[in-house]
Structure 1
Amino acid sequence: MTNTPTIARRTFLAGSALAAAYSGPGLAMAAPTAFEPPWTGGGTVVRAGGVISYRTIGPDTAEPVVLLHKVGAWLADWREVAPLLAARYRVVAIDLPGHGESVMCGPPPHVQTISESAAIVLAVLSELQVERFVVAGNSLGGVIGVQMAARWPERVRALILASVSLYEGQTRAELDMVEQDRDPQVWTEDWRPLPRTMEQVARFGTVNPAIETEQNASRARADRWVRPSERGVALTDTASTLKATKQPVQLIYADRGYYTKYIAIGREARPDATIVELAEAGSFVHQEKPAETAAAMLAFLDRLA
């Protein structure tokens, strides 16, 4: 596992300045002249509401594979999988709204809905002239991917879900009730994320302390956007939405932890799905087992060719 990436302060400030300078949607920004490994391309795109950051690797003429990260994360989560896919595909990794180097104007909403995030991602891809693609997502990124596949099937050729919560959703009243029991070890009173220990994430997260250290850094970076994004997931019936998809689907999960229960839900929603279970991993399989995850993805995509 590579070390936690350092996000340069000047890059963040540049993104903030760009957001202030460009208020109109649809303006592609100039790409930086250099990129941190393994990325070989990228830049930012201005959409209504903010600036979205992306990175690329692989031939521009190859079929696109879009990588979306988990809640409270950043596109660097995919840095070890991306080069393994890039020999055959054009890989596009995106920082979701309010995450990583994607800078949104103004304070975050109480709820960042999945449909809003999906629409923003699709708009960015349209700017990049990526009209039809394979989407692979972990956690929040997978929920967004399911939404895109169901609502815009002409854009999504195939769907890969890596440790995704296939939740049936709850009402706003139910969510408000749950939030009355805010965990003071995880959230401040105004819902800013606090660093988490390995003991706190053992039930649902990673088994690798280095990954959790990075997760704490990326959650701090997303800051007030973490909880609104989680609320968006909680209010979405992803299980039913997955059932409505028609594209080929691959489910990649670990053999342990909280997320394993979604394997059965995914199988029920899409009996034809390709299911892969990776041994000795937690919920962030693409970070804990990048070579195995990439191999599974490539084998699935090969069958679609």
Structure 2
Amino acid sequence: MKQLVISLVLASVSLAPVPQAYAAPENAAITRSATATVFYRSATIDGVKVFYREAGPANGPVVLLLHGFPTSSHMFRNLIPLLADRYRVIAPDYPGFGQSDAPDHASFAYTFGHYADMIDALMDQIGAERYAMYVMDYGAPVGYRLALKQPERVTALIIQNGNAYDEGLRDFWDPIKAYWNEGTAERREALSGLVTLDTTKFQYTDGMSDLSRISPDNWVHDQALLDRPGNKGIQLDLFYDYRTNVPLYPEFQRFFREHRPPALIVWGKNDKIFPEEGAHPYLRDLPNAEFHILDTGHFALEDKLDEMAPLINDFLDREVARR
């Protein structure tokens, strides 16, 4: 089954070009200062330590960065200082990821709904009442669940390879969907290949335009955390619970249509986990979104930070800072 998983991961995806709603600057370069101090903090939520990175002025507009699988707030380590001259940046680790506690999955509910509740509680605890959200991978359902709970709090969306449409769940998801449909021990164990070093490295390297930009520290760091005793069970629980996000897609889409948050979509077109097909449907519900398809893969910030950071800062400066 491991060979099946890897072969599905490596399957080709047909990509269709689209016009961009907002043109990216040619030869975009990082121009903001990267000298901000980043603080490494934690808060206790329902008895569980939730770690988060924080930087920027305490009274600045808040930008909440929500990470994907199998990483943590570590994925934002280079972006945070580039936003923190003007914004209060908060990047938490979900329980079971990064530096947050990882309670035994037999006694703690590793679900996307639980994560949204805990991030909601964290933001209350640290006094962040309104925020723009950067959502990626797992961060999308966590963030969109937050938006359903507290729609008035969301000032803007930055969407990077995070799905909210059926079109975005393609071949990579077939073994996971089989587990959703049957829920057997055999289907569960068949997903073990998704927490191995081969797949972790694949997520950082496949589809990248310049592999020399991708630090091997990424997959070494993430795999060390995946390999902690008990963590495999946590991740398999989350693969199974992801099925609960799909019925919420219409509600996520209704939130987009009804609240029309300013949105910036920056999507790695070569991602086989959340492929480009999942990016275009956002324009049905967010027709004014600024839309950029980049020649990169899943963890686009590792490859295209020099293009993405100016786009993000420009977007936030226009849509958030001046409000």
Q: Give the one of 222, 225, 228 matched to 2:234.
A: 225
Three-state SS of the structure 2 residue aligned to 1:101 is coil
The code of the aligned residue for 1:41 comes to F
**Cα distance change, pair 209–119 in 1 and its aligned pair in 2 (3 A):** same
Q: Give the one of 193, 196, 207 matched to 1:194.
A: 196
Residue deviations 1:65-102 (CA, integer Å, cap 9, x gap): 11111022111110011111111111111001211111
Q: Give the one of 290, 293, 306 matched to 1:291.
A: 306
The code of the aligned residue for 2:301 comes to H
Q: CA separation in 2, counterparts of 1:165 and 1:178? A: 22
1:255 aligns with 2:283: no
Three-state SS of the structure 1 residue aligned to 2:157 is strand
Q: CA separation in 2, counterparts of 1:200 and 1:294? A: 24
* Conservation of the 8 A alpha-carbon contact between 2:265 and 2:292: yes
The code of the aligned residue for 2:198 comes to R
Note the residue ranges of structure 2 that are not aligned, 5 or more in a row.
1-34
Give the fraction of aligned pairs with identical amino acids, expressed as a percent.
22
1:301 aligns with 2:312: no
1:216 aligns with 2:223: yes
Three-state SS of the structure 1 residue aligned to 2:155 is strand
Q: CA separation in 2, counterparts of 1:117 and 1:218? A: 18
Q: Give the one of 165, 188, 196 matched to 2:163.
A: 165
Instruction: Tell me the matched-pair count.
Output: 264
**Cα distance change, pair 201–157 in 1 and its aligned pair in 2 (3 A):** closer
Residue deviations 1:208-230 (CA, integer Å, cap 9, x gap): 47244444234335543222223
RMSD: 3.2
Q: CA separation in 1, counterparts of 2:243 and 2:215? A: 26
In the superposition, the TM-score normalised over structure 2's length comes to: 0.71
Residue deviations 1:14-44 (CA, integer Å, cap 9, x gap): xxxxxxxxxxxxxxxxxxxxxxx97532321
Q: Partner residue of 2:71?
A: 73
Displacement of 1:303 after TM fit?
2.3
Q: CA separation in 2, counterparts of 1:199 and 1:51? A: 28
1:236 aligns with 2:245: yes
Q: CA separation in 2, counterparts of 1:106 and 1:278? A: 39
1:149 aligns with 2:165: no
Q: Partner residue of 2:111?
A: 113
Residue deviations 1:116-147 (CA, integer Å, cap 9, x gap): 11110010111101111111121101221122
Three-state SS of the structure 1 residue aligned to 2:197 is coil
1:84 aligns with 2:98: no
The code of the aligned residue for 2:70 comes to G
Q: CA separation in 2, counterparts of 1:45 and 1:133? A: 18
Three-state SS of the structure 1 residue aligned to 2:151 is coil
Farther off after superposition, 67-76 or 168-177 = 168-177
* Larger helix percent: 2
Q: Partner residue of 2:287?
A: 271
Displacement of 1:298 after TM fit?
1.2
Three-state SS of the structure 2 residue aligned to 1:289 is helix
* Conservation of the 8 A alpha-carbon contact between 1:193 and 1:223: yes
Note the residue ranges of structure 1 that are not aligned, 5 or more in a row.
1-36
Q: CA separation in 2, counterparts of 1:91 and 1:143? A: 20
Farther off after superposition, 65-74 or 207-216 = 207-216
**Cα distance change, pair 218–70 in 1 and its aligned pair in 2 (3 A):** farther
Q: CA separation in 1, counterparts of 2:116 and 2:244? A: 15
Displacement of 1:286 after TM fit?
2.0
Q: CA separation in 2, counterparts of 1:205 and 1:224? A: 29
**Cα distance change, pair 38–74 in 1 and its aligned pair in 2 (3 A):** farther
Q: CA separation in 1, counterparts of 2:148 and 2:128? A: 18
**Cα distance change, pair 159–202 in 1 and its aligned pair in 2 (3 A):** closer
Three-state SS of the structure 2 residue aligned to 1:244 is helix
Q: Partner residue of 1:26?
A: none
**Cα distance change, pair 217–174 in 1 and its aligned pair in 2 (3 A):** closer
Q: CA separation in 1, counterparts of 2:199 and 2:179? A: 27
